[in-house]
Chain A
């Protein structure tokens, strides 16, 4: 091998004065960094992924991990990453896969949008004293409603309302499938959404029996592989989501390697034990917008028009026109997944280069739907790199009805965004099916952490709204007047339909 090895990414060291030799680092590291030889703990730094499990478990704070202990000669063009990708491909001749979301250092638009608050002329509202209306309905809204008088003189609604999901807070958890993540992770999140009055997605992995008690809070997904999809599954879900695309890898399909398909995953996905689960790039019964209508209606017809149907697309260049088509296709909600969306595995060239930011996608979709007078026909759910309640508030002000979080929920479960989800070794018991690792995550504790996160964001959202003198989420939605752009160029401000700070 003329290329030799590349420098290790991390250097792990133990402060031997502090160390009490308890061995927890050896037990906890599933990547095999630590081992005992005689009375000494040896370290193999090259194996470290910086998942920080050992650091979290070390009772003495004795572990130190430094990044890039040996770096290349600095160069603005030939970054470490550029060089190492070439070395990797020179060795393999293959497509490079990577984990988690877009890792490029591109500006984050959320951070260049500022929220408004009241001063003097209109008073802010104290959410402690005044009720804050955060309830959100996801689904079609009638453009007008008709009433009729009954014989007894009561007034009755005559318009037939489409089924909607009722959310107590506009935060939902997006689709992460059983297979990609562990059952304990799904259970933790399911308990959390049931407790906080919101919903989560099943992902394309079917619905495990243990999640049946939470099915009224689950959005079942129908993706191109149709794994786990049968009439029973469709009827159990509170809503059904057709996955067309995903922000982390727009335009391509998915692939769950056979190693991750154990007995339980096989049963839930309804595929043979140990077989690869391949989701083709397109749905092979959808080659046009007319075909999409047909799939939506087939799902509605199968479930007797009782469930809202969502369509999830990746945010790509023509997202606004595509969403306008979806709005006319009898879908009840469109989910837009921005280019920072997370994933267990995606070709790196897609993850880092294909798609557009969620912020501009929300703005242009909302704008287009309003222009065409069909905004009420469909709800907008935004996802892909939403990190905190400020991103949430800004998403809603740009025009979203609600958001999906993904990575944020995993971080609440312990994930440290190490990006090694594909290896089935997640030391936090999240992206793994290995029973000893999965058992590290207690669903009761996990549920508390995730619902704490949802509560925290919800409180912050109420405070932000109160400060802006807004007491209902409806008044924040699409209210771009409460946003100002900071260090954004004119073209971007125009797309976002936001004024620059100071204006």
Chain B
């Protein structure tokens, strides 16, 4: 495997991304970025199958418009990792800020700990086999999966008594599903969101995702496969259809 190392210390994001692109063009299969500290837009619009190891804390919009690569982040991530991402994967060994996976159309974002507000907002799915997946090991703040139009948000609530304690879950959701470990109080649901029964078939469907998440972070999947989940989806696929009348 061809590995390229880049020391990002004190480097602005533009030259950093230029170096990453040059390495990818040069056939690198793995790129190791050291001393990353707040550089935004890492992997922005990047294509290919490269694996990027990020040591440090990347800035906002990590992997934005990304199409293919995998980024492993050994640290926290800032605002909106996976923003409008097409395909590929972000594995964050820490927590992340607001608007994680905003408008993501495909690929996966795995966050070991917690995320901020509006996680998975307006995530959407186009093709059946390319659905976007956001998995949160810990918990999320308000408006999780707001305006969601497709894909899956999974909250495991590891180390928490309750996986979700913030309100507005799935407000305006019109597609996709939010699966939360354990019970979710009704008052936490946003306008237009509804609880559905979580069936054996549902568990079977998400089991590979749970396993893949556990594999990334070294958890034993067994305890997540033998537990209750709450499934939240749209009360209607056309939440605004009844709001308007024509002139």
Which residue numbers of A lie inside 8 Å of B, CB to CB?
Answer: 85, 88-89, 91-92, 94-99, 224-226, 229-232, 234-235, 255, 257-258, 266, 270-272, 275-276, 278, 280, 284-285, 294, 297-298, 301-305, 347-348, 419, 422
Contact = CB atoms under 8 A, between A and B. Distances in A.
B241 A276 contact: yes
B238 interface: yes
A406 B5 CA distance: 51
B233 interface: no
Q: Is the interface of A mostly helix, strand, loop or mixed?
A: mixed
Contact of B103 (A99, A226, A266): A226
Given A275-B175, A284-B99, A302 B246 contact: no
Contacts of B103: 225-226, 229, 284-285
Given A303-B45, A305-B14, 11 more contacts: A91-B245, A94-B244, A224-B122, A230-B105, A235-B45, A257-B241, A272-B175, A276-B174, A284-B99, A284-B103, A304-B21
B64 A284 contact: no
B243 to A, nearest CB: 6
Nearest to B13: A301
A189 B67 CA distance: 31
Contacts of B86: 230-231
Contacts of A225: 103, 122
22 contacts: A91-B245, A94-B244, A97-B245, A231-B86, A235-B45, A258-B238, A270-B124, A271-B124, A272-B175, A275-B149, A275-B175, A275-B237, A276-B240, A284-B147, A294-B79, A298-B40, A298-B44, A302-B45, A302-B65, A304-B21, A305-B14, A347-B244
B125 A272 contact: yes
A496 to B, nearest CB: 33
A223 B127 CA distance: 21
B61 interface: yes
B60 to A, nearest CB: 6
Contacts of B84: 226, 229-230
Interface in B110-137: 118, 121-122, 124-126
Interface in B145-188: 146-147, 149-150, 172, 174-175
Going nearest first, the 4 A-B pairs with the smallest beta carbon separation are A302-B45, A94-B245, A92-B245, A226-B103
Contact of B247 (A98, A230, A232, A304): A98
A294 B60 contact: yes
B74 interface: no
Contacts of B239: 278
Nearest to A303: B45
B47 interface: yes
A278 B174 contact: yes
Interface string B14-28: 100110010000000
Interface of B: 13-14, 17-18, 21, 40-41, 44-45, 47, 60-61, 64-67, 79-80, 83-84, 86, 99, 102-103, 105, 118, 121-122, 124-126, 146-147, 149-150, 172, 174-175, 237-247
Contacts of A231: 45, 47, 65-67, 86
Contacts of A305: 14
Contact of B122 (A94, A280, A347): A280
A271 B149 contact: yes
A422 B245 CA distance: 12
A272 to B, nearest CB: 7
A230 B105 CA distance: 9
Contact of A422 (B99, B172, B241, B246): B246
A294 B47 contact: no
B24 to A, nearest CB: 13
A348 B45 contact: no
A285 B102 contact: yes
B45 A96 contact: no
A298 B83 contact: yes
In this complex, the member of A94, A230, A280 whose beta carbon has the largest number of chain B beta carbons within 10 angstroms is A230
A285 B80 contact: yes
B12 to A, nearest CB: 11
B208 to A, nearest CB: 22
B240 A255 contact: yes
A497 B232 CA distance: 57
A94 B244 CA distance: 5
Given A95-B245, A271-B124, A280-B122, A285 B40 contact: no
Given A92-B245, A272-B150, A298 B122 contact: no
A60 B228 CA distance: 74
Contacts of A258: 238
B147 A280 contact: yes
Contacts of B172: 278, 280
B247 A88 contact: yes
A97 B247 contact: yes
Contact of B44 (A98, A271, A276, A301): A301
A257 B18 CA distance: 41
A298 B59 CA distance: 12
Given A284-B146, A294-B40, A89 B99 contact: no
Nearest to B66: A231
B246 A97 contact: yes
Contacts of B105: 226, 230, 270
B155 to A, nearest CB: 19
Nearest to B105: A270
A94 B61 contact: no
A92 B175 CA distance: 27
B126 A271 contact: yes
Nearest to B64: A298
A294 B41 CA distance: 9
A484 B1 CA distance: 72
Contacts of B18: 304
Contacts of A230: 65, 67, 84, 86, 105
Contacts of A255: 240
Contacts of B80: 285
Given A88-B247, A96-B247, A298-B44, A226 B122 contact: yes
